[in-house]
Structure 1
Amino acid sequence: MKLLLDENLSWRMVNKLGVVFPEVVHVTSLNISQPASDISIWDFAKKNGYTIVSKDDDFEKIVLLRKAPPKLLFLKTYNLNTEKLVNLIIANNIKIKEFINSDENDIFEIFGE
């Protein structure tokens, strides 16, 4: 399960999520121009087999227009801090893995307060 964290998420999430998702990277660690545009992130994820993790609804629009891959793990979590975001993702790890392995959906939404 390869996860690519968008710029709107903290790079500090990588180590904590790596326990459950060993192949997680943050967009700032990629060999693409920074700040990375949504399309360059999309292209990288598509070419390299990543699922994008983001709170940015622009990715939802891109998925609806271009279709998967890559898939989108869309965090609808308002202003949760990094620790709570990590805990929310880990708590949903089984559903996330099922989503990534399934051909049924392109977007998986996780809600949190």
Structure 2
Amino acid sequence: MKLLLDENLSWRMIKQLKPFFTEVVHASELKISQPATDISIWSYAKKHGFTIISKDDDFEKIVLLRKAPPKLIYLKTFNLSTKGLLDLIIENKEKLFEFIKTDENDIFELYFN
């Protein structure tokens, strides 16, 4: 499973997520015009088979309008720390794998309780 981290997430998350996902990249690493726009990130993810993970509600709007792929993991976590985000993602990795594998939904919302 390939994840593309949006620019609003720390690039430092890559190292901790790599043991769980096939490939993890950050939007700042992409070979596209930087700073990357949401549409350019979405287009890159679509072309290269990534699932986007973001806290930005603009991606929700894009996926609703244009449909998947790419799919979106939407982090509705407000000001949760990077460590808290990592813990939440890793705790829910099995649910995320299932979401990515199936064609049922285009958006998976992940909340912090």
TM-score range, shorter chain: over 0.9
TM-score, normalisation: structure 1: 0.98
Shift of residue 21, structure 1, vs aligned partner: 1.2
Q: Structure 2 unaligned segments of length 5 or more: list them.
A: none
Partner of residue 49, structure 2: 49
**What is residue 105 of structure 1 aligned with on the other side?**
105
Cα distance in 1 for residues equivalent to 2:30 and 2:67: 23
Deviation at 1:22, TM superposition (A): 3.2
What is the percent sequence identity of the aligned residues?
68
Which residue of the partner structure matches residue 58 of structure 1?
A: 58
Matched, 1:71 2:71: yes
Secondary structure of the equivalent of 2:94? Answer: helix
Please report how far the alpha carbon of residue 99 of structure 1 lies from its aligned counterpart in structure 2 after TM superposition. Answer: 0.1
- Residue ranges of structure 1 left out of the alignment (5+ in a row): none
The 1-side partners of 2:110 and 2:95 are apart by 10
SS in 1 for 2:80: coil
Q: TM-score, normalised by structure 2?
A: 0.98
- Alignment partners' CA distance in 1, 2:112 and 2:34: 29
> C-alpha offsets along residues 57-108 of structure 1, whole Å, 9 cap, x if unaligned?
0000000000000000000001011111001000000000000000000000
Query: CA RMSD for the aligned pairs?
Result: 0.7
Deviations 1:31-56 (A, max 9, x none): 11111000000000000000000000
Match of 1:21 in 2: 21
What is the deviation of 1:19? 1.4
Runs of 4+ in 1 over 3 A off after TM superposition: none
The one-letter amino acid of 2:81's match is N
1:82 matched residue in structure 2: 82
Q: Match for residue 36 of structure 2?
A: 36
Q: 2: distance between equivalents of 1:19 and 1:76?
A: 24
- SS of 1:78's equivalent in the other structure is coil
Tell me how many residue pairs correspond in the alignment.
113
